[in-house]
């Protein structure tokens, strides 16, 4: 696709007209599907770049296994979904940032930035399909 992600999303909103005013529950369904698509891509890209299958995971899980999606705790319920790294056993988000951006002693490899770029089309397609289902049910 030649258009950038924002242009595609704006076109989708324009094409579907009144669907912009969907309920929070419907919005959650759409963003959840997109978040799951993004989570899958981030997991795959993280496994390609930063996965050591021989590492002991009894204390904490692999970075690629810590990718999670859903509603952020402590935020208002507005239908949005987030994707990121878990901080349950260790701050995987911090580790991912160091690996992606680098440090003074280590250059970054931009694996996360590349994963986000790779995920744009699958996320858009998944969200468009979910939105089309909602429209179909509403007869739009």
Q: What torsion, rounded to 10 degrees, do the Cα atoms 100, 106, 107, 111 define?
A: -20
Q: What mean pLDDT, rounded, does the chain reach?
A: 86
Report whether pLDDT(8) > 90. no
Quick one: average pLDDT of 109-124?
Answer: 95
Q: What is the pTM of this model?
A: 0.78
Distance CA 139, CA 77 (A): 26
- CA 38 to chain CA mean position, Å: 3
Report whether pLDDT(60) > 80. no
Q: Are 60 and 90 in contact (CB under 8 A)?
A: yes
Residue 68, beta-bridge partner list: 84
User: Looking at residue 121, what is its pLDDT?
Assistant: 96
Burial class (CB in 10 A: 0-12, 13-18, 19+), 7: exposed
Quick one: average pLDDT of 8-29?
Answer: 74
Report whether pLDDT(1) > 70. no
């Amino acid at each position: 696709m030649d258009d950038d992600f924002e242009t595609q999303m704006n076109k989708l909103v324009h094409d579907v007209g009144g669907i912009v005013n969907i309920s929070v529950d419907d919005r959650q369904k759409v963003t959840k599907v997109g978040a799951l698509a993004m989570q899958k891509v981030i997991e795959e890209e993280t496994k390609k770049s930063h996965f050591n299958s021989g590492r002991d995971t009894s204390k904490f899980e692999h970075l690629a296994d810590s990718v999670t999606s859903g509603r952020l705790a402590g935020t208002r319920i507005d239908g949005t979904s987030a994707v990121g790294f878990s901080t349950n056993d260790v701050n995987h988000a911090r580790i991912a940032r160091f690996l992606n951006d680098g440090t003074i002693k280590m250059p970054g490899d931009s694996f996360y930035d590349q994963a986000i770029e790779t995920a744009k089309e699958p996320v858009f397609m998944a969200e468009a399909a979910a939105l089309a289902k909602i429209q179909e049910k509403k007869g739009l």
